[in-house]
Structure 1
Amino acid sequence: MDTITFGMGCFWGPEARFGYLPGVVKTRVGYAGGKEGQPTSKNTLDFTEVLQIQYDPELLSLDQLLTQFFEQHNSTRAPYSNKYRSVLFYQNEEQKEKMYQKVEEMLQKYGVIYTAVEPLEQFYEEVTRHQKYYLQRWKPVYKKWCQLHFGEESLVQSTLAARLNGLSRGIGTLEEIQSEFQDPILEPLWCVIREELKGEREQTGDTCSII
């Protein structure tokens, strides 16, 4: 497994979007790039909010992740704070080379971008209540998740949590997740999700009929 770390604004949205990508194994949010001590939720000092992804390079390439990085946020807009800047952190020479290549490609395309490339010197993991933020706020689903044996301690380690966090933001489908996770123990969870999704469709008028 390989790991990549980057900042692209508030880390909750990117964690949901990247967590749904096939090949992503784990996601966690935290802080990197600062020099002033140890950041916390209440005081991030000079650190940047970042997403760290563990992924299977046989299913998802570094090039694909870098493409997604630039597609999923506006790197041509100057950051209004160090906390929310656009930055790619490299952990080895391969990452460094490909990150600089991608930045140069974007410069040729847009003329100006504000994405930094820096070595990853330290990563500080955020507290649990900020991990899989949207899944935790999908209350009926998260309650069933905890009842099944998972609980908040597995939010960082679980691939399923990463997928559900994306689904909670309308990314992908339940059927796709079910095809990846076929353990019968999950059926009560699927039932709750189906009811939640059904309720959302009814509220928005997004219903289907067979003619």
Structure 2
Amino acid sequence: MKDLSIDDLTMRNIDSSLERFQSARVCIIGLGGLGSNIAVMLARSSVGELFLIDYDKVEASNLNRQYYFVEDIGMYKSQAIKNIIGKINPFVKVHIRNIKIKEDNIEELIKGEKYIVEALDDAESKSMLINKILENFPDKYIISGSGMAGIGDSNSISTKKLMKNLYICGDGFSDYEKYSGMMAPRVNICAAHQANTVLELIFNEK
């Protein structure tokens, strides 16, 4: 089999997208059900550089919705998803940090990032991260996910622009407690909304 080239992997991409996506860098904070799937979608779309942040390790219970495999159990999620991306698109530069986002380290981690995907698990961390960025970095794009638990109407998950650079993807309310769990389809739908929003922002940037 001949050596792969980036052209081989992107021949089905939309016209004039390769240069724009390859020159872009995206930061994803949280590599669970949303973040792991978003990272893979962006890699398949040939986003040139990804900065992946998570402190957790893969557990068996993650496999019902997160983009990991049995052999990844016990591995740091950041390293596992980096390995997976390398098998899908080896032309993507993947940088990882095994660290938990806190109020006192956000600025250091995201100061050089333009596109920030928020994919954290708990509402308190989500709110803290978004508020910190909006207050201190108004020119950064934030693409956040919220509300995708259970089994319900796929079309209830949508993308809304709430502020100048803040986009929220989800069904508009938190329903984890009601359903006591999350399933792959709705999580993936929300992840796809976030990934698509990132691509749209990059592609349409002047």
User: TM-score, length-normalised on structure 1?
Assistant: 0.24
Structure number with the bigger relative contact order (C-alpha 8 A, sep ≥ 6) is 1
Larger Rg: 1
User: TM-score, length-normalised on structure 2?
Assistant: 0.25
